[in-house]
Amino acid sequence: MTTFDETSGMVSPAQEKRRGQGFEGHWALVWRKFLRHRLGVLGGIIVLLAYVVAAIPDFLAPVTLEAYNPAYAYAPPQQVHLGVSTEDGWQFRPHVNAYKTVVDYNSGRRIFTADPESIIDIGFFVVGEPYKLFGFIPAARHLFGPVEVGQPFYIFGADRLGRDILSRTIYGARISMTIGLLGVAASLVLGILIGGVSGLFGGVVDNVIQRLIEFVQSVPAIPLWIGLAAAIPRDIPPLQVYFFITIILSVLGWTSLARVVRGRFLAMRNEDFVKAARLDGCGPVRIIFRHMLPSFLSHIIATVSLAIPGMILAETALSYLGIGLRTPIVSWGVLLQEAQNVRTIASAPWLLLPGVAVVIAVLALNFLGDGLRDAADPYAD
């Protein structure tokens, strides 16, 4: 039973958990509230996994980016079987079937069917093609893949050059997931700088910046992106293209962050506890970093995580149109370039599978952002 302490007016500590007692700080409360948001947690886990994938694609993908085999152009996805039936009954033996190929002379295309007789065993931690982990640690183990190197292994199907779409999608995460992060980081710097200036100075400066933000927000983004992207010279190295695209994305992306920062700054400036800090004699630096920033950092994190999906979608769209990233860089948008028209898709719908990766990543980031936004103010409710 909980009792009521009449002198202090407080619920007595013996029965209540420590949380009610105010021993927990802001971040502990935010974390607790976030954990209550199931979808947010699920999204967070998926996002985390996606970034793990982005960090070590070479290990996770069955084959490297360069691997191709024209013999398996447009090979459909193989079905993964978990075991085989033998005389001794069912036996665990994960495998896929090899292809039987028939050439259709009318269309000139090969038609692939599964060959139940020929079994390609799937192994874990198999030795496959060599790669350099993080770009410098030589390795050859892959999380999974055909036990025998070089056997056809296309569980997501193959593209027109017989490249494994699964491996390429895994590699695509590296670019697609980071370009969002990088774009948002750039936007964040711009947003905090401009929003902070706007909120701090107020008056005419604030007014000018607000009109600018309103204006930028009212410009249709995609045509402008297209315009800017088309202006990237065609003959520069891929890495530079990557950075150009990042900059283009953040040119329009900073506005919402700037708004959040400014709004918080203005609201915070009139909070009583900030006034009290001023009266305590805190200088502006201390007020900003000790009192104001911690108070809206969680809001900024939430806004950031909600801004990343937009960047990912934009990169995908630009690359798909052929004015964003280009091969040899592999992003999900670049992969989707393969699916240029309905007829190609109709004959090889698995070319859209990298799109599924986009959808999952964006969904997860949205869930995460929603959860973070709800948790950002743990004192409400």
Partner 1 sequence: MGSFILRRIIYVIPALIAVSLISFLVIAVPPGDFVDRLAEEAAKKGDIMPLAEIEAMRRAYGLDQPLLVQYWSWITGVVLRGDFGYSFGWNLPVKEVIWPRLGLTVVLSLASLLFVWVVAIPIGIYSAVRRYSVGDYIFTFLGFLGLAVPNFLLALALMYVAFAWFGQDVGGLFSPEYIEAPWGWGKFTDLMAHLWLPMVVLGTSGTASVIRVIRANLIDELHKPYVTAARAKGKGEFALLMKYPVRHAMNPFVSGQNDIFVDIVSGGTIVAIVMGLQTTGPLLIKALMEQDMYMAASFILMLSVLVVVGTLLSDLLLAWLDPRIRYQQG
Partner 2 sequence: MENLVEIRGLRITFAGAVDVVQGLDLDIPAGKTLCLVGESGCGKSVTAKSILQVIDHPGRVSGGSINLRQTDGSVLDIAKTKPTSPLMRQVRGGDIAMIHQEPMSFLSPLYTIGNQISEALMLHRKISEKDARAEGIKMLEEVGMPDPARRYDSYTFQLSGGQRQRAMIAMALINKPRLLIADEPTTALDVTTQANILDLLGELQRETGMGVLFITHDLGVVAEIADEVAVMYLGKIVERAPVRELLENPKHPYTKGLLASMPRLDGDFKAPLKAIPGMVPPPALRPAGCSFHPRCEWARKDMCGHVAVLETDLGANHMVACHAYGPQAHKFSRVSKVVDVGAPVAVAKKAVGKPLLSVRNLHKHFAIRAGFFQRQVGAVRAVNDISLDVFPGETLGLVGESGCGKSTLGQTLVGLHRADSGEVQFADIDVRAAKGAEAKQLRTDIRMVFQDPTGSLNPRMRVRDIIGEVLQVNGNHSAAEIEEKVQGLLARVGLSPDYAERYPHAFSGGQRQRIAIARALASDPKLVIADEAVSALDVSVQTQIINMMKELQAELGLTYVFVSHDLGVIANISDRVAVMYAGRIVELGETDQIFRNPRHPYTEALLAAIPGRGARKTGARIRLTGHVPDAAKPLAGCAFADRCRYVTDACRVNVPELRGEGNHLDACLRSEELKLRSVSQTEALVSA
Instruction: State the binding partner of 138 from partner 1, partner 2, none, CB within 5 to 8 A by kind.
Output: none
Residues 6 or more apart whose CB falls under 8 angstroms from that of 253 comprise: 183, 184, 186, 187, 307, 310, 311
CB of residue 362 to partner 1, shortest distance in Å:
4
Instruction: State the binding partner of 25 from partner 1, partner 2, none, CB within 5 to 8 A by kind.
Output: partner 2
Residue closer to partner 1 (CB basis): 58 or 315: 315
**Site size for partner 2 (CB under 8 A):** 38
In which residue are the tokens 């978990």 written? 82
Residues 6 or more apart whose CB falls under 8 angstroms from that of 72 comprise: 99, 112, 152, 154, 158, 162
CA gap 67, 256 in Å, rounded: 42
Residue closer to partner 2 (CB basis): 114 or 277: 277
Instruction: State the binding partner of 141 from partner 1, partner 2, none, CB within 5 to 8 A by kind.
Output: none
Q: Which residues bind partner 1 (CB under 8 A)?
A: 211, 215, 217-224, 226-228, 230-231, 233, 309, 313, 316-317, 320-321, 323, 336, 339, 342-343, 345-346, 349, 352, 355, 358-360, 362-363, 366-367
Residue closer to partner 1 (CB basis): 112 or 153: 112
What do you get for the CA distance between the two ends of the chain, in Å? 24
CB of residue 42 to partner 1, shortest distance in Å:
12
CB of residue 307 to partner 2, shortest distance in Å:
24
Residue closer to partner 1 (CB basis): 138 or 223: 223
Token pair of 143, please? 């999380």
Q: How far is CA 247 from CA 13, 41, 53, 193, 254, in A?
A: 54, 30, 24, 16, 11
Q: Does 22 bind partner 2 (CB under 8 A)?
A: yes
Q: Does 291 bind partner 2 (CB under 8 A)?
A: yes
Which listed residue (79, 113, 151, 207) binds partner 2 by CB under 8 A?
Answer: 207
The DSSP letter of residue 75 is P
Q: Does 341 bind partner 2 (CB under 8 A)?
A: no
Q: Which stretch binds partner 2 (CB under 8 A): 1-9, 150-158, 227-235, 330-338?
A: 1-9
Which listed residue (14, 17, 25, 342) binds partner 2 by CB under 8 A?
Answer: 25
Residue closer to partner 2 (CB basis): 268 or 334: 268
Q: Binding marks (x or -) toward partner 2, 238..277, rule CB under 8 A? A: ---------------------------------xxx-xxx
Whether the Cβ atoms of residue 257 and residue 304 lie closer than 8 Å to each other: yes
Q: What is the 3-state secondary structure (H, E, C) of 31-64?
A: HHHHHHCHHHHHHHHHHHHHHHHHHCHHHHCCCC
Q: What is the 3-state secondary structure (H, E, C) of 276-318?
A: HHHHHCCCHHHHHHHHHHHHHHHHHHHHHHHHHHHHHHHHHHH
Specify whether the backbone of 89 is left (phi greater than 0), alpha (psi in -120 to 50) or beta.
Answer: left
From 319, 89, 297, 109, select the one nearest 192 (Cα to Cα): 297
Specify whether the backbone of 76 is left (phi greater than 0), alpha (psi in -120 to 50) or beta.
Answer: beta
**Can you give the length of the chain in residues?**
381
Instruction: State the binding partner of 285 from partner 2, partner 1, none, CB within 5 to 8 A by kind.
Output: none
CA gap 309, 43 in Å, rounded: 12
CA gap 281, 376 in Å, rounded: 28
Residue closer to partner 2 (CB basis): 3 or 217: 3
Residue closer to partner 1 (CB basis): 65 or 362: 362
Residue closer to partner 1 (CB basis): 123 or 355: 355
Contacts with partner 2 by CB under 8 A lie at 2-11, 20-26, 29, 203-204, 207, 211, 271-273, 275-282, 286, 291, 294-295, 379
